[in-house]
Structure 1
Amino acid sequence: MKVSIKREFDFIEYEVDMSDATLLEILHEIKTNQENSLAYSSGCRSSVCGSCAVRVNEKEVLACSYKVQDGDRVEPLKNVEIIRDLVVNMDKALETNARAKSWLAEFNKETVLNHEDEKINALQSDCILCGSCYSACPVYAVNEEFLGPFSLTGVWKYVSDKRELNAAQKIETIQTNGVWDCTLCNECTLVCPQGISSKADIEKLRMKSSMAGYSDPNFGQSFGGGFGFDGTPSF
């Protein structure tokens, strides 16, 4: 089986005598027996930590779960700093969680969630922060200030949590470089290993934003402004 791995500027082809193997197993075999300088990330080996996310044939996957096919081309995630080979620096993408205030900011300790409450954002809670959605996002590719998929999914998770007392602040935070900048292309959903649809979460956040009096600033600009579509809340 032949596999090509991007190292610096070129793809290097390796041949391994393995079948029905995960990409992580192939990478370990190459590093152990052929090229000990090969760099890649791994952690849990169980599709939980997200650290082994890479791109195979131009699509984001988890190396620990992807089964390699002959001729596959492997490269690091896009839209992030490459440290070496398949190892990338996720700090900038992860910082979007802080900018989006993606946590329970002010919560009512007396509020008890029932099973139905928990189901509202159970799927969003499965996010493993692997960065696949940021790699696939065409908006983040051209605007690094965009809050991005998993950050906005996180905001929806807490905005929809009935314990949160200051959901309005979170809605305000995502008006710039946030919900209105997304093109709703759905690329993030297609590559999420957990099956989370950030597109759907962003659509729900847009609805919440509209209910709070916000509107798409781009829509206002298309009318030249001055018609009440200036992106500011009106109560």
Structure 2
Amino acid sequence: MKLTIQRHQKGKSYEETFDVASLKVTTLLAALYEIKAKMDESLTFDAGCRSGVCGACALRVNGRETLACSYTPHDGDRIEPLNYHPVQRDLKVDKEKPQETLKRVLPTTIQNPKSKIQNPPLSSEDEAKFRVQTDCILCDSCYSACPVLAVNPDFLGPFALTRAWRYHTDPRYIEEVPNDSIQHLTSKIQNPVLLDTVQQNGIWDCTLCGECTAVCPQQIDPKSDIMQLRGESLKAGYSDPTLSTPSFGTPDFGGGFGFDPNAGF
């Protein structure tokens, strides 16, 4: 069995194929360890728990994001690092920039004034609303699979937006509204400031392609969470900015609908 690995060393990028037929490999991560131990000690990759829990070993196989510790290798597999991450060496990437997006969606929390006790316990119904989203292991697979980031590097990305939905649905969080311009739109909406942070380079930029959902090892559905955030945003008075200038591919003479009044029918 031969595995082709995209190498990145000393400023050079190249492919190298390793024949692991004689090695004992059950998972791709085991194969990488065997290659490093017996063929090329310079091979660099990330790993942690080896049990699909920490997300450290996420990479791409044949153009698809997966966890190396959970993937069974096949002859001819091509392994490469995650997309949109600075490559440090071989399959090891820097995840700092993608995970910085999480800071932008953290709610500014204060004690809920309606509660008479500190940190009120959650009901099972409330906890169920964000139980799945809490299982995110920050592997960055959904971020790497997102086609929006290829054209907009400032896009928040799927796991930041699904985390935003997790906080938005948690009744233990309530936010101060910073100004009247938001207050008059969102006086009855929980976490209005959080909703405000996901409007630009956020929920409306998503194409709803579902690639993030397809590659998530935890079966989280960022696409659905983004759709939920869109619905909450509409309730709060926000709107899809792309709908303000619709076009049907013909010249726009000020009517806003792209029709040419002189073109005839």
What's the CA shift for 1:198? 0.4
Does structure 2 conserve the Cα–Cα contact (< 8 Å) formed by 1:159 and 1:170? yes
What's the CA shift for 1:107? 4.3
Give CA-to-partner distance per residue, 1:164-218, whole Å, 9 cap, x none. Answer: 1121110011111111010101000011000111000000000000000000001
After superposition, the Cα gap between the structure-2 partners of 1:186 and 1:107, relative to the gap in structure 1 and judged at 3 Å, is: farther
What's the CA shift for 1:221? 2.1
In the alignment, which residue of structure 1 is the partner of 2:211? Answer: 187
Give CA-to-partner distance per residue, 1:41-90, whole Å, 9 cap, x none. Answer: 00111111101000001000000111111111100001111111000011
Letter matched to residue 4 of structure 1? T
In the alignment, which residue of structure 2 is the partner of 1:50? Answer: 55
Work out the CA distance in 2 between the residues paired with 1:107 and 1:154: 20
Larger radius of gyration: 2
What's the CA shift for 1:10? 2.1
Work out the CA distance in 1 between the residues paired with 2:2 and 2:110: 53
After superposition, the Cα gap between the structure-2 partners of 1:170 and 1:24, relative to the gap in structure 1 and judged at 3 Å, is: same
In the alignment, which residue of structure 1 is the partner of 2:109? Answer: 105
Work out the CA distance in 2 between the residues paired with 1:181 and 1:214: 14
RMSD (Å) for aligned C-alpha atoms: 1.8
In the alignment, which residue of structure 1 is the partner of 2:81? Answer: 76
Work out the CA distance in 1 between the residues paired with 2:158 and 2:26: 30
Unaligned runs of 5+ in 1: 228-235
Does structure 2 conserve the Cα–Cα contact (< 8 Å) formed by 1:133 and 1:189? yes
Does 2:139 correspond to 1:130? yes
Among residues 176, 197, 200, which one is paired with 2:221 in the alignment? 197
Percent identity, aligned pairs only, is 50
Work out the CA distance in 2 between the residues paired with 1:132 and 1:104: 27
What's the CA shift for 1:104? 6.5
- Listed as ranges, the matches of 1:89-168 within 5 Å are 89-101=94-106, 103=107, 105-108=109-112, 109-166=118-175, 167-168=191-192
Work out the CA distance in 1 between the residues paired with 2:133 and 2:108: 14
TM-score by structure 2 length? 0.81
Letter matched to residue 138 of structure 1? P
What's the CA shift for 1:115? 1.2
Aligned residues: 226
In the alignment, which residue of structure 2 is the partner of 1:232? Answer: none
Does 2:15 correspond to 1:11? yes
Work out the CA distance in 1 between the residues paired with 2:170 and 2:255: 36
